[in-house]
A and B are shown apart, each in its own frame.
Chain A
Amino acid sequence: MTEPLDYTELIGAMKRCTLIMTDSGGIQEEAPSLAKPVLILRETTERPEAVMAGTAKLIGTDSVRIYDEATELLTNPESYQKMANAASPFGDGQASDRIVDLCAKYLKIA
């Protein structure tokens, strides 16, 4: 089994994988920007945005459900693409530049 991955290795793994099954909140945020579907192994999530946007699906921990949902994504390209290509609700990569601009405006130096 794999030892814990550091930050950049985990991104490397997310980039190369086909599908992600996780209970991690951070991965739910990151995966859509790498066009990877996420099956959330929980009953609830603090990030309903991902589920609403269609980038993630809340499936719980029932073994039959886990198998069925993964099988659907592994065998039906249409279902896979629909999740993989849904737009990320978490950002477009420009947040930091916006924050700098907004601070400059607030301080009246822009």
Chain B
Amino acid sequence: MNSISPVPVCIIAGTRPEAIKMAPVIQAFQKSPLFKTQVILTGQHREMVDQVMAFFNLKADYDLAIMQPKQTLTDITCLAVRGLEELFVKLQPKMVLVQGDTTTAFAAALAAFYQQIPVGHVEAGLRTSDIYNPFPEEANRRLISQIAQLHFAPTTLSAENVEKSGVVGEIHLTGNTVIDALLKVAASNPPCEIPDLDWDKHRVILSTVHRRENWGEPLSDIITGFQKILDSHPDTALVLPMHRNPTVRDPLQAALGSHPRVF
């Protein structure tokens, strides 16, 4: 049997969620003797991506470093497509893998398409019925679906969504790679030190609230609900990792900040 030389593939990421969801994919490709895997970061976001790469012990082969102050979608798209074109011409990948619905993912799919390189789309098939919500992600994911040859759907519902989009290529139900990443991290039993909280002393309710739709009155209702729970169940504690946005942070801080069982 002839030994075949590893086939070059490029894996693209630009934001923190992409890095998390691509990390186990990169590891799986690197483990396979069939592939020569090149990781390309666009640099759409910076520090938060580096953090994730370091945690999973991954290094980027190339970094386009496109991030600039006050970048627009047009800036990101143009710089990423141009930079990736040069890399794809140089590296000659037989396949390009993109994840989700960021502008990085869309630009990478487009750059690969222009070189007639097949695109594999990880987490294909998320949909809302509103092209402007979420913006620009809803359009990004629909456009990627039209370009990709391999559609890796996380759930049966998302596989149906891809099917309904009338795409070309293969649709596969794979599960979501975020679970692969999660189980790897959870197995390492990551610490979570919160000042003054003894995890064994309370039943802890973990809560995060940050969506725009919950700003204002819904947030006040949620706070009232939390207060009732804490009053009626003295063995509970509430852990509320804060959001940086003061619109969410300030009301929570004002109402619950001094409660002895809110952390």
Contact = CB atoms under 8 A, between A and B. Distances in A.
Interface of A: 1-24, 26-27, 29-30, 33-34, 41-43, 46, 48-49, 61-67, 70-71, 74, 88-100, 102-104, 106-107, 109-110
A36 B258 CA distance: 27
A22 B175 contact: no
B179 A20 contact: no
Contact of A34 (B25, B186, B195): B186
Interface string B230-250: 001100100111111000000
24 contacts: A1-B242, A7-B51, A8-B188, A8-B190, A17-B205, A23-B210, A24-B208, A33-B179, A33-B182, A42-B211, A49-B155, A61-B221, A64-B225, A89-B155, A91-B154, A91-B178, A93-B180, A95-B175, A96-B177, A99-B122, A99-B174, A100-B32, A100-B35, A103-B97
B207 interface: yes
Nearest to B173: A98
B205 A21 contact: yes
B145 to A, nearest CB: 16
A9 B257 contact: no
B175 A92 contact: yes
B186 A11 contact: yes
Given A17-B205, A70-B205, A96-B25, A26 B17 contact: yes
Interface in B119-139: 120, 122, 126, 128
Given A66-B225, A99-B25, A100-B28, 18 more contacts: A1-B240, A2-B242, A3-B241, A7-B55, A8-B190, A9-B193, A11-B186, A12-B190, A15-B186, A20-B205, A23-B210, A42-B214, A49-B157, A96-B27, A102-B150, A106-B95, A106-B149, A110-B34
A6 B211 CA distance: 18
Contacts of A98: 152, 172, 174-175
A27 B225 CA distance: 20
Considering the complex of A and B, which 4 residue pairs feature the smallest CB-CB distances, nearest first? A91-B175, A66-B225, A12-B192, A63-B224
B171 to A, nearest CB: 11
Interface string B193-233: 11100010001111111110110001101101110110011
Given A2-B194, A41-B214, A98-B172, A23 B208 contact: yes
Given A9-B191, A100-B32, A109-B4, A4 B25 contact: no
Contacts of A65: 225
B67 interface: no
Q: Which of A20, A62, A67, A110 has the most CB of B within 10 A?
A: A67
Contacts of B83: none
B146 interface: no
Contacts of B43: none
Contacts, number: 247
A2 to B, nearest CB: 5
Given A7-B52, A74-B233, A96-B24, A102 B180 contact: no
A29 B51 contact: no
Contacts of B120: 99, 102-103, 106
A46 B24 contact: no
Interface of B: 4, 7, 9, 16-17, 20, 24-25, 27-29, 31-32, 34-35, 51-52, 55, 94-95, 97, 118, 120, 122, 126, 128, 149-150, 152, 154-157, 170, 172, 174-180, 182-183, 185-186, 188-195, 199, 203-211, 213-214, 218-219, 221-222, 224-226, 228-229, 232-233, 236, 239-244, 252-253, 256-257, 262-263
